[in-house]
Amino acid sequence: MPDEIEPYIPSGWVGRAETELRRAGYHSTLPRSTITEAIGSKHCAITADELSQELRRGGRPIGNATIYRTLELFEQLRLLRRLDFGDGVARYEPMLPEGGHHHHHYVCSSCGTVTAFEDEAVEEAIEELSERFGQRVEEHELILRGTCSSCLDG
């Protein structure tokens, strides 16, 4: 991946999630708080299975049904965005409030590793296209596919 692409690291998502859950009338539970903290520590998309494995490795096993229900709830509350990279696996990543950082994804075709990145030049190009076509782009996603450096070196 080019050096000029900077990794995206979310901040403040856990507090926002807790506030939105309370606002929507949900009580704090240990499993939900554990899932919230695990998701909030991620810098990119995670699958339900990856989340489950991570929690088990950390000595905090939570049932798959609870994980899926929590992911669905977070998606409904617009705390998570569900992503589909065309491989049949749903991934989830924290949504930031309006004006929050926007990022894109690089997916390795060999190992499936997903890397988030920001690139101001891409954002400027999209804005220029929007102006050229006389339309307003409200949302966009960019997924780059290729071979990551680990697979190239391997």
154 vs 61, more confident: 61
Start-end of H helices in the chain? 13-23, 30-40, 48-57, 64-76, 120-132, 149-153
Q: What mean pLDDT is predicted for residues 82-91?
A: 86
Provide the pLDDT for residue 100: 55
Question: How confident is the model over 56-85, as a mean pLDDT?
Answer: 93
Residue 147 in this model has a pLDDT that exceeds 70 = yes
Per-residue pLDDT band for 2 (boundaries 50, 70, 90) equals very low
- pTM tops 0.85, yes or no: no
pLDDT at residue 65 is higher than 80: yes
Rg of the chain over all Cα atoms, to the nearest angstrom: 17
pLDDT grade for 6, boundaries at 50, 70 and 90: very low
Q: Which helix (H) or strand (E) holds 116?
A: strand 114-117
Quick one: pLDDT at residue 141? 82
Confirm if 1 and 117 have CB atoms less than 8 A apart: yes
Taking the CA atoms of 47, 56, 65 and 19 in sequence, report the sign of the dihedral they define: negative
Across residues 90-100, what is the average pLDDT?
75
Mean pLDDT of all residues in 72-96: 89
- Name the pLDDT band for 98 (thresholds 50, 70, 90): low
**Which of 84, 79, 90, 71 lies closest to 141, judged by CA?**
84
| pLDDT, tens only, 18-59 | 999 999 999 989 999 999 999 988 877 899 999 999 999 999
For the domain with range 13-153, which CATH number is right: 1.20.190.20, 1.10.3720.10, 1.10.10.10, 3.40.980.10? 1.10.10.10
Per-residue pLDDT, 1: 44
